[in-house]
Structure 1
Amino acid sequence: MSDYDVIVLGGGPGGYIAAERLGHAGKKVLLVEGQYLGGTCLNVGCIPTKTLLNAAKSYAHAQHGARIGLTVEGLSLDWAKLQAWKKKVVDTLVGGVAQSEKKAGVEVLEAYGRFEGPGRVSADGRTYTAEHVILATGSVPVMPPIPGVRDNPQVVDSTGLLDIPEQPKRLVVIGGGVIGIEFASLFATLGSQVSVIEMLPEIVPNMDTELAATMRRALKGIDFHLSCRVTKVDGGTVHFETADGSPGSVEADVVLMAVGRRAALEGWGAQESGLDIGRGGIVVDDRMRTNLPGVWAVGDVTGRSLLAHAAYRMGEVAVANILDPQAHRRGEVMRWHLVPWAVYSLPEAAGVGLTEQQARAAGRDVVTATVPGYMSGRFIAEEGTQAVGASKIVVDARTRQVLGIHLLAPYASEAIWGATAVLETELSIDDLRQVVIPHPTISELIREAAWAVKA
């Protein structure tokens, strides 16, 4: 007889939500986590970065308040206090996860675990058995083999940048994806001199290219070097090559390596266990099953969608199918193409579904509409007449089904869930036009774009 019904290896968003859901369902669950409960997102990712970004937004509002009659005298930034506030937020939420697991009856083992095969995990000097094992070991930052990067104290990953003792005067960000842009926006807003070097011709490659270009122009205080390949890093000097082969360089006090993350597959038995491992991570189906019986994988380790909210849903899908082998018949599967994304920069951006470029590349005949942010009364009231923002909708020209919704505006991350619901329920553009959206809100930009579509 097994020690547990389910063992969860990894205490990040996918792992801890799966353990909690299973515990509340009456299952005997062991959650094994060796580094920190809450995983990368809660400890050194989503939560600390958004805490600092919120502070940056407050700082920017105070700096520019005079234009609306709010003058702040003696505005200053105390980096040490800001770091202390970040730590308090993280500690509070980590404590909340621990309490949630306890309330659900989940046993939490603070130790590094090793997957020994179906139904077996070793940790803390003993082997534990279970009917099911959920693998949720997360991801780690990518550190490419660029000359001068390894053992260079001026080069940090996202975790290292979150803990720097003082704000850098000059920051170079290698990589213009979501992580790179959020940090670039954060430090530029706080007054650092920031440069972003990106190999591709535009920032945020998963974003609609029209809105990505608009967003780049709206990001203040950042010097962009696009279509550039970093050739070496010499101390704080980053050398790069432009698209035409011309050399260039940028000086920095701190260099952030933000070229992405990869599935954490080393050191816990993944390669030795017989798991099917693909190019991005552990191969799973839409129910989160691996090739091994009774073994499931969720979150970043699958390489499918390296987002915390995707991990939450993966954990829930795995739990639903563990509890009921027929759960997939009632829709308990991962719909990978409907996972929304967000960039918490100044301004924010978010999207769900296909971009215009993706739809056309897939051979879809589409119609689109893009409306400016000033079509929303709240946008003007809060951001002013010169602010940059937009909403874009992608619609199938034949079926009239909404294929994608994209926002560049304040609160975009808060509004995008509604857009996700539109795509989840397969609404047509006619259906969407009938939805009542509160006024005045940023979300009204979705309605304005819907009515602007010539379909």
Structure 2
Amino acid sequence: MDYDVIIIGGGPGGYIAAERLAHAGKKVCVAEQDTVGGTCLNVGCIPTKSLLNSAKLYRHALESEKFGVSVQGVSANWETMQAWKAQTVTTLVGGVLQLLKRGKVDVRNAHASLVGPGKVRVGDEELSCEHVIVATGSVPVMPPIPGAQDNPAVVDSTGLLEISELPKRLVIIGGGVIGVEFASIFGALGTEVHVIEMLPEIVPFMDDELGSLLRSAIPGVTFHLGCQVTEIKGSTVVFSDPEGKTNTLEADVVLMAVGRKPATEGWGANEAGLELDRRGVRVDDTMRTNLPNVWAVGDVTGRSLLAHAAYRMGEIAAAHIIDGAKAKADGQVLREECIPWAVYSLPEAAGVGLTEAQLADQGIEPVTVTVPLVLSGRFVAENGVKEPGAVKLIAEAKSRVIRGIHMVGNYAPETIWGAAATLEQELSIDDLRQVIFPHPTVSEGIREAAWAIAD
């Protein structure tokens, strides 16, 4: 046997599993045909956050005078921003490779295919192992809109990250996380941005009340809700509005940001007999597939297309491979309802758990409260009283157990882990009221919500 574990894919789920397994003394091989780090590190989370930070600094410089700081000659240099983005990605990819090297993980830059349980073809070589972890990630969805295919004006998120100059006009098809983050970047930098979303509100997994707040708070962006793109003629986007009227928008660049789908093709899933469902590779809550000793983690499962969810899935699979009995006793399973999400827009947003509507749909009477972040001293000190921000807490009316916490406002993504822990531990409103929050912090908005909710 060549390895204890072979991992197909070197993205977040794959490399974190490799690190955990190597630390436990397992002989591990990671096969990645592109660059270790996957979509998140190379063409997703990290490069967009680098550009968002530049856009944020530019916006802060323009608005700094109200805080007593005068700045002359503020300008945005796209070429320098791109260089900073590239430097950030290169540094972090190098860090991942160093961690894998330290664990003596065999990293192979080659295409890999699952032959069957214990058998993986890496490049031209067939390797054997005790366990296989599939971590092939996801790919952008390209809907069959007439005129979108082979159109140089239409790009996906990867293509938009590589443009050589700022567009004057950008049309984004899709108001999910990807679309909203790119809208924030380019809107802050002065591009005329239009977002076309077919649903009645942006970021569909957000509570509608806070989704509306976030949308109204993003500067320099026009949103077209309940609209459907029917055709793209060169750089002209044709779409129908909720009344059925046809509208057009001219663009220098059109971003297709309608989402991503699990990468289930091209690596032998069907040939090996791996079971797929409507979401992706079918797994149980311990990441096991239908094939013995074959596991799947991350986007390819369709359980959650978020990098931190992939981390957790990789850790769960690794724990069961290392010591299944201990992992079971420790309760090492995926709890999807406790996976937090974050939108790094301007302003930011984050949340975990159910929305008010989702809880009601389960036949459970909700009790909710929404409090403004102007109740947080730090939020006001850094943003003023006009900057939008709020926390919404959603609980079961009868049991008072907290089922969801959603936030809009800067620092929300840095705060939401505490909300995730609240849901993990199934804390009630009274439990949360006993938690001591540091002062002054934006996180205190959660405490204020716990005390403001009706008894």
Query: Does the pair score TM above 0.5?
Result: yes
CA apart distance, 1:123 = 1.5
Distance 1:369 1:216 in 2: 20
Map residues 178-327 of structure 1 onto 2, 5 A cutoff.
178-326=177-325, 327=327
Map residues 399-418 of structure 1 onto 2, 5 A cutoff.
399-418=399-418
Match of 2:43 in 1: 44
Distance 1:397 1:114 in 2: 50
Give me the TM-score of the superposition, normalised by structure 2. Answer: 0.99
**Aligned partner of residue 272 in structure 1, secondary structure:** helix
CA apart distance, 1:236 = 1.1
Distance 1:205 1:124 in 2: 40
Match of 2:27 in 1: 28
Pairs aligned (count): 454
Map residues 27-426 of structure 1 onto 2, 5 A cutoff.
27-326=26-325, 327-426=327-426
Contact 1:7 1:133 (C-alpha < 8 Å) held by counterparts: yes
Compare 305-314 and 364-373 and name the one that shifted more: 364-373
Distance 2:328 2:447 in 1: 33
Compare 134-143 and 325-334 and name the one that shifted more: 325-334
Distance 1:249 1:339 in 2: 38
Distance 1:388 1:434 in 2: 27
Distance 2:419 2:224 in 1: 32
Distance 2:269 2:167 in 1: 39
Q: Which amino acid aligns with 2:246?
A: P
Q: Which amino acid aligns with 1:165?
A: S
**Aligned partner of residue 150 in structure 1, secondary structure:** coil
**Aligned partner of residue 392 in structure 1, secondary structure:** strand
**Aligned partner of residue 244 in structure 1, secondary structure:** coil
Contact 1:356 1:368 (C-alpha < 8 Å) held by counterparts: yes
Distance 1:409 1:68 in 2: 19
Distance 1:328 1:366 in 2: 33
CA apart distance, 1:263 = 0.4
Distance 2:359 2:10 in 1: 36
Q: Which amino acid aligns with 1:397?
A: A
Distance 1:279 1:65 in 2: 49
Instruction: List gaps (5 residues or longer) in structure 2.
Output: none
Contact 1:188 1:221 (C-alpha < 8 Å) held by counterparts: yes
RMSD over aligned CA atoms reads 0.7
Distance 1:251 1:115 in 2: 45
Give me the TM-score of the superposition, normalised by structure 1. Answer: 0.99
Q: Which amino acid aligns with 1:93?
A: L
Deviations along 1:401-430, one digit per CA (max 9) or x if unpaired, are: 111111111110000001111111111100
Q: Which amino acid aligns with 1:355?
A: T
Distance 1:407 1:226 in 2: 22
Compare 422-431 and 131-140 and name the one that shifted more: 422-431
CA apart distance, 1:328 = 2.2
Q: Which amino acid aligns with 2:400?
A: R
Contact 1:24 1:105 (C-alpha < 8 Å) held by counterparts: no
Q: Which amino acid aligns with 1:148?
A: G
Distance 2:362 2:237 in 1: 38
Distance 2:165 2:449 in 1: 43
Compare 323-332 and 145-154 and name the one that shifted more: 323-332
CA apart distance, 1:329 = 2.9
Q: Which amino acid aligns with 2:364?
A: R
Distance 1:194 1:302 in 2: 33
CA apart distance, 1:372 = 0.8
The sequence identity of aligned pairs, in percent, is 62
4+ residue segments displaced more than 2 Å: none
Distance 2:103 2:357 in 1: 44
Deviations along 1:231-269, one digit per CA (max 9) or x if unpaired, are: 001111110011221111111100000000000112111
CA apart distance, 1:330 = 1.8
Contact 1:56 1:190 (C-alpha < 8 Å) held by counterparts: yes
Q: Which amino acid aligns with 1:118?
A: P
